[in-house]
Amino acid sequence: MPVDLSFLLPFLGTIFGIFFILAVSFNIEYGYAGQPNLGKVFFYSVGGYAAATLTTRALWALAGSPADIPFLEDAGGVVRFAVARANPAVIVGLFLASLVLAGLVGAAFGWLTSYPALRLRGDFLAISLIAVGEVSRVFVLNYEPIAGGVFGLSGVPNPFSWLPPRVVDAVYAVVVLGIAFGLYVFAIRLTNSPFGRLLKSLRDDELASGVYGKNTPKVKARALMIGSGMAGVAGALYVFYVQTAYAADFIPIVSFTAVTMVILGGVANHKGTLVGAAFMTLLDLVTRPVFPTLFDIYWRPPFDLNYVRYLAIGVIIIVVLMFRPKGLLPERPVETSAVRVARRRVRETARADPSGSPGTTLK
């Protein structure tokens, strides 16, 4: 049987892109600013709800808010899909607006989080944020107005659903990867900037940073806002991909997957996060029921294959913390433009005068 990758590759690309954004945002918060935001899934879900609400409400209004069709049930979703397919410009515009809105809403909640973050020690903050993520899921699952409660808010159309069905997923995967790459470059530039060094100073010694006149509470709040805004964008991308905002999807393992990507790859190292995210995406692939069928193996274990993935995540966390606490790619010195210029000069001098004095080498 020929291996059919036309379904699998877009799926992997999309999942990779979404989790990579989440992991990069966690790296900014934890790796650089030292704020262990283990409730990432909360900000991710908030972005998803914001995107889904905006999109479904706008499409519903465009459809003339039909009173005889229930908004939350399947029939309502069908109406929204039809509107989206008929108006490509509208749905793409809504998609972009949703991303912006999700980022803003995520950032707003990140700003709120800075209130406890300023007052709690690392482990206490982590416990509180895990609790926030868990409780918000239960709350939204029972409170219909946010995301349809137990029904979920379905009928969030894929922004490219007006294209031929064969290419929709591929186009979406490319868009997600493009956004992920953009945010990756943004994160690298941000953390290499003076602001990034300020974040590190906060992480390493908040008191000293304050003594040097830095406004540490404001910096912390900003780091959390940036990280949570990115998580919100990731949540919006997820909701547009699965076409439903459903509270029960936002389980703690989402946060822990992003955390594992960061600590496996290397805390405070964006390339490490890339490696970690790639590794975890591969793990995701091999623990999908579809994977053995690629090799014509149709045996099914008597348990859910997801268990194997979650088990592997646990094992990776433990093994990395015990044997390689700095991750695969440890943190490296900051790469400022001054360092780059200095390095180039040294190289030039060495070329001009090969004997060179040992004093001019720069690591």
Strands annotated E in 226-328: 244-245
200-219: burial string, b at 16+ Cβ within 10 Å, e else = bbbbeebeebeeeeeebbeb
CA distances from 181 to 185, 215, 221 (A): 6, 31, 24
CA distances from 102 to 46, 99, 140, 179, 224 (A): 7, 5, 17, 14, 15
Q: Is 86 a binder of another protein (CB under 8 A)?
A: no
Shortest Å, Cβ 358 to another protein: 36
Shortest Å, Cβ 243 to another protein: 26
Shortest Å, Cβ 78 to another protein: 29
Q: Is 258 a binder of another protein (CB under 8 A)?
A: no
d(CA 333, CA 188): 13
Shortest Å, Cβ 8 to another protein: 24
Of 197, 279, 310, 326, the residue at the interface with another protein (CB under 8 A) is 310
Mask for 261-290, x = binds another protein (CB under 8 A)? --x---------------------------
d(CA 296, CA 85): 36
Shortest Å, Cβ 50 to another protein: 21
d(CA 203, CA 199): 6
Q: Is 321 a binder of another protein (CB under 8 A)?
A: yes
Of 4, 7, 93, 139, the residue at the interface with another protein (CB under 8 A) is 139
Contact 14, 234 (CB under 8 A): no
Count residues near another protein (CB under 8 A): 42
Q: Is 307 a binder of another protein (CB under 8 A)?
A: yes
Binding site for another protein (CB under 8 A): 36, 38, 116, 119-124, 126-128, 130-132, 134-135, 138-139, 141-142, 253, 256, 259, 263, 301-304, 307-308, 310-311, 313-318, 321-322, 325
